[in-house]
Structure 1
Amino acid sequence: MAARKRSRQKRDLEANLYETGGYYRYKHPQTGKFHGMGKDKSAANAAARKLNAMLLKPNDHVSRVMATDAVLFSVLVTRYRNEYLPTKKLKQTTMDETGYRLNRLNKDLGHLQVCDMSIRQLAEYLDDSFKNNAYTKHRGLLSDIFKFGITKGLAESNLAEETLAKAADEKERLPLSKKWFDQIYANADEWLQVAMDFALISLQRRSDVCAARFEDIEGGYLKLVQQKTEKFGVRAHLRIEIGPSLEKVFKRSRASGIASPYIIHRRPKRIRESKDTTHWSQVRPEIFSKEFAKARDKVPEIAKLPAAKRPTVHEIRALGGHLYLEAGFSEEYVQTLMGHSTAAMTADYTDRHLEWTTCGAGLKI
């Protein structure tokens, strides 16, 4: 950034150097922050000359020619999105989440030239803009973008990789109890109650619950391919026997009066086409989460909790697994229904619902 033309009274001061009451301050041309330079005018001018030489971009013919080869970060994001992202073969939900993050990074950093970006700049951006898992996700995506940029000759180094890699956050959310489930259920609309019942009985993720169609019901079974774990094979391809509980859920869904191909459906306030749905009645996973949260926050006991501790729709899956075990079903039964490849993964969900008995051990020896 070029320095502003000095007033007549201050022409004997170097660019970006200011005097107030006999005290000199230097204004960083990139950050805009002021730094004290003491009361010695000669020393302050000398320091300002050195700083300007390092921080101000030269305004000459050579730099203007070189600048024509400079690449904006927005160009790097666009090429990453169009050339590399499709090759990763991500699930649609993951693609949507990545697209959202790319839009955010492009909006915030797209105007910058890649060659001028610094580790400090990215570190401060990540620290100021994101917390917890959002920090981890955006840092990881930035690193991937720079990695791609290096392979295309658009970046010289992976600046994001040099920023602080923070440890994953411990789970803050409280597990969803059956009591809370019932209270949320009482505040839910009809379609949301059906979705909650379906998720609780089937132990499926919100994306799989929302994707299930009536045509997937065949010969007393529901065929379901878990989107998140499809690439891991047989564990993800489930043929779920429809018992009395699931049958009741499906009958209730069919009785909605809406001719929908999806088991979980609703009549929106405004019917309009969307690239994210194949039928106007379809419920997207994020809508399931959003409406669940609305019903949840009507429960006074939950509403008093900090937002980070309130259980999300994902906790229905863990609660269902716990209820199956409590009812006497085997761990293998629950593990298979959840589509987990190991028992440890299932235990990670269900152990959060264990109730601990407080006791003493005060023997003196």
Structure 2
Amino acid sequence: MSPRPRNKANKPLPDNLYPANGGKSYQYRHPVTGKFHGMGVSRLNAIAAAKELNTMLIPDNDLVAKVLGNITVRQHAKWFMDNIAPEREYKASTLQMYQVQIRKLEAAMGDVAAEDVSVQDLAQLLEKYSPRTANQIRQVAVDLFRVAVSRGLRADNPAEATLKRKEKKARKRLTQDEYDTIKTMSPLWAQNAMDLALITLQRRSDVARMKFENIRDGKLYVIQEKTEKYDTGYLAIAVGPRLDKVIKRCRDDMASPYLVHRRPERKVKDRAGMDHWTQVKPQMLTRAFAEARDESGLFDKAPEGERPTFHEIRALGIKNLRDKGADPQKLAGHSSAKMTSNYDSGHDEIRWVEVSAE
């Protein structure tokens, strides 16, 4: 897409002059520094001042100033990834998501000046994608343009004005009977992982990282990978009878520091992220669960994208605790009850709330 110097709403105004406060006043953007300066409420005075400033700040032969005053979305995105992203210490998965969605933004409007991107531009882009993808693009765009505002590249954030789409959960929830059937079809190490996930409500990456040395004083200590920056991510899980039974089952004749471990069928070529030859990577848990699920035949009629994954064990565990009248929020490591409810939604069973009118 070729760059456009002004959007239609601002075309009648001189370069670098923009309406502010809903059109009640005007502001001038310095063509070199990118900073905005208030120009009052008089349209005539603002236009006259802007023309004079443009003459002083952008002489016809000053091409560098013109370029500096027209930072494109692609240039700003690169600056963001080079300067802002490293400071935030994103997880690898989050960083990858940003890179993927930024590529989509760049393909659609990379050569457009950051100041000229409109709400309509972004809305039209988001309409082309599924709700989940559109929401990820919107999340990244909101962040990018928020930083653009702080850099003085524009006065508002057009991404914030777009609508967040409602994501309909495609995957089927897992029932206890289905879980039991899939578990019997799984190898012992995968059964251990499944039970640890069901009882502790931890994600696959946290289950894969559980070590015997983290069990002390009757507790299993877990630092959740996704939330380790927050208080909700540091858990000391009491080892009750059910969890103790699984832990004892994990203590087999194979010397391994990890609760979930296995003897590789062949030499592991990719040892990235592994510190022991018996270690099980998170994606191996997903693969083993999917193989047992498909072997069971329980979901043969369901499309591939709707079949439950290892992650659904967490949702089943939350449901089971709720059925017993317990609050799973702290154990799940969720910062809000709403987040926990998202995992509990979608089950067919009705949970009756016992009340008294007396």
- TM-score (norm: length of structure 1): 0.64
After superposition, give the CA deviation of every residue in 1:86-135 in whole Å (9 maximum; x if it has no partner): 44455xxxx2232222322344444732417644554343333x312221
Name the aligned partner's letter for residue 349 of structure 2.
E
2:73/2:113 contact within 8 Å kept? no
Would you say 1:220 and 2:218 are equivalent positions? Answer: yes
Would you say 1:338 and 2:335 are equivalent positions? Answer: no
User: For this pair of structures, how many residues does the alignment match?
Assistant: 287
Would you say 1:100 and 2:96 are equivalent positions? Answer: yes
Q: Counterpart of 2:195?
A: 197
**1:274-353 superposed matches below 5 A:** 274=272, 276-279=273-276, 281-324=278-321, 329-332=324-327, 334-340=328-334, 349-350=343-344, 352-353=346-347
**1:1-365 superposed matches below 5 A:** 68-69=67-68, 71-88=71-88, 90=90, 95-110=91-106, 112-115=110-113, 118-119=117-118, 120-128=120-128, 130-154=129-153, 158-162=157-161, 164-230=162-228, 233=231, 236-255=233-252, 257=254, 259-266=255-262, 267=264, 269=266, 270-274=268-272, 276-279=273-276, 281-324=278-321, 329-332=324-327, 334-340=328-334, 349-350=343-344, 352-353=346-347, 355-356=349-350
2:72/2:111 contact within 8 Å kept? yes
Q: Counterpart of 2:49?
A: none
TM-aligned CA distance change 1:105 to 1:338, over 3 Å: closer
For structure 2, the 5+ residue unaligned runs are 3-59, 352-358
TM-aligned CA distance change 1:179 to 1:136, over 3 Å: same
Query: How far does residue 66 in structure 1 lie from its aligned partner after superposition?
Result: 6.7
CA distance in 2, matches of 1:293, 1:62: 64
TM-aligned CA distance change 1:297 to 1:124, over 3 Å: farther
TM-aligned CA distance change 1:350 to 1:136, over 3 Å: closer
CA distance in 2, matches of 1:331, 1:337: 10
1:223/1:240 contact within 8 Å kept? yes
CA distance in 2, matches of 1:278, 1:169: 38
- TM-score (norm: length of structure 2): 0.65
2:196/2:207 contact within 8 Å kept? yes
After superposition, give the CA deviation of every residue in 1:144-198 in whole Å (9 maximum; x if it has no partner): 1122123234556534334x31333243433211121123223333332221111
- Partner of 2:221, secondary structure, is strand
Q: Counterpart of 2:55?
A: none
CA distance in 1, matches of 2:104, 2:341: 41
CA distance in 1, matches of 2:330, 2:97: 33
After superposition, give the CA deviation of every residue in 1:222-245 in whole Å (9 maximum; x if it has no partner): 112334455553x54332233443
For structure 1, the 5+ residue unaligned runs are 3-60, 358-365
After superposition, give the CA deviation of every residue in 1:299-338 in whole Å (9 maximum; x if it has no partner): 3231311344322322212322343455xx5414x45533
2:71/2:153 contact within 8 Å kept? yes
TM-aligned CA distance change 1:273 to 1:293, over 3 Å: same
2:101/2:136 contact within 8 Å kept? no
> Please, what is the CA RMSD of the aligned residues?
3.7
Identity, in percent, stands at 34
Q: Counterpart of 2:21?
A: none
TM-aligned CA distance change 1:216 to 1:134, over 3 Å: same
- Partner of 1:301, secondary structure, is coil
1:210/1:264 contact within 8 Å kept? yes
- Partner of 1:185, secondary structure, is helix
2:138/2:164 contact within 8 Å kept? no
